[in-house]
């Protein structure tokens, strides 16, 4: 049972989390033309590195999306980055 640090709630049981996707994937702007290659890359291609990976996760209980760096081999959590703006 791993534990992940939600930027708002703190360290929590892994069962409260859901993997969303790789960090850094930008949705192509579909208000204009998008090539088949670009759209296929967005849908299906993943870096999937061995070692340090940068991912977007959701803490499902508070529904917050955040970025987490992990080692995909040792399972060590290397760091998290808050994606939400702080409350004004």
Partner 1 sequence: MTRHAGAAIDASRKLRFTFDGRAYEGVAGDTLASALLANGVRIVGRSFKYHRPRGLWGAWVDKPNAIMEVSLKGSELPNCLATTTTLEDGMEARAVNAWPNARRDIKGGLDLFSRFLTAGFYYKTFIWPDWHLFEPSIRKMAGLGSVSLEHLDDYITDQSHDQCDLLVIGGGPAGLAAARESAEAGRDVVLVDDQELIGGSAYQAPDIEEQYPEDWVTSQRAAIETAGGRILSRTTAYGVYDHQLVALIETRAFGQTPRLTRMRARHALLATGAIDRPVTLPGNDTPGVMSLTAAREYFHRYGVLAGGCAALISNQTDAQTALAPLQAAGLEIQALDPADPDLKIAGARQTTGVTLRDRHIPADLVLTSAGRTPMVHLWRHAGGKLTWSDPLQAFLPDNQLGWMQAIGAANGTFDTDTTLAEARARATGATPPADQPEPIQPLWPRPGAKGRQWIDFQHDVTLKDVELAARENYASVEHLKRYTTLGMASDQGKTSNMAGLAAMATLQGKEIPQVGTTTFRPPFVPVPLAAWAGQHQRQLYHPVKRLALEPQHRDAQAALCEYGGWLRPGWYGAGEADTRIAHEARTARATAGLLDGSPLGKIEVMGPDATAFVNFMFYNTMATLKPGQIRYGFLLTEGGIVYDDGVVSCLGENHFLISCSSSHVDGVRGMLETWRQDGNDPDQIFVHDLTMHWATLTVTGPQARDIVETLGLEADLSSDALPHMRFATSTWNETPMRIARVSFSGDLSFELSLRSSMAPALWDHLMGETKKIGGTLLGIEAMSVLRAEKGYIMVGKDTDGETMPHDLGFTIPRAKKTAPFVGDRSLHTETANDPHRKQLVGLTVPDGAPPLATGAHVVSDAPRRSLGYVTSSYLSPNLDRPVALGLVENGAARLGEEVTIWHDETLSKATITAPCAFDPEGDRLHA
Partner 2 sequence: MRDDSQTWAAPAPLTAPLDLGGATLGRVTGLRQTLISGTRVLSTSATGWPAPVQGAPYRIVLRRDRVVEVGGAAHPEGWDEAAGEARSDISDGWTLLELSGAGAFGLLRRGTELSLAEPSASVVRKLWGLDVWLYRFEAEDKFRLHIARALDEALIGHLRLAADLARD
The H or E element that residue 85 is part of is none
CB 37 within 8 A of CB 48: no
Per CB under 8 A, does 71 bind partner 2?
Answer: no
Q: Tell me the per-residue interface mask from 28 to 47 with partner 1, x by CB under 8 A, - otherwise.
A: xxxx--x-x--x--xx----
Buried b / exposed e over 19-35, threshold 16 CB at 10 Å, is eeeebeeeeeeeeeeee
Residue 34 binding partner per list partner 2, partner 1, none, with a CB distance cut-off of 5 to 8 Å that depends on partner kind:
partner 1
Per CB under 8 A, does 48 bind partner 1?
Answer: no
Out of 41, 61, 76, 78, point to the residue binding partner 2 (CB under 8 A).
61
Out of 22, 64, 69, 71, point to the residue binding partner 2 (CB under 8 A).
64
Residue 9 binding partner per list partner 2, partner 1, none, with a CB distance cut-off of 5 to 8 Å that depends on partner kind:
partner 2
CA–CA separation, 24 vs 37, rounded Å?
A: 18
C-alpha of 19 from chain center: 6
């Amino acid at each position: 049972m791993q534990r992940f640090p939600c930027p708002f709630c703190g360290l929590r049981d892994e069962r409260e989390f859901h993997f969303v996707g790789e960090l850094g994937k930008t949705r192509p702007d579909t208000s204009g033309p998008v090539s088949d290659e670009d759209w296929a890359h967005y849908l299906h291609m993943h870096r999937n590195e061995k070692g340090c990976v940068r991912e977007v996760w959701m803490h499902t209980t508070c529904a917050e999306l955040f970025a987490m760096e992990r080692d995909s081999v040792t399972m060590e959590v290397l760091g998290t980055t808050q994606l939400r703006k702080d409350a004004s």
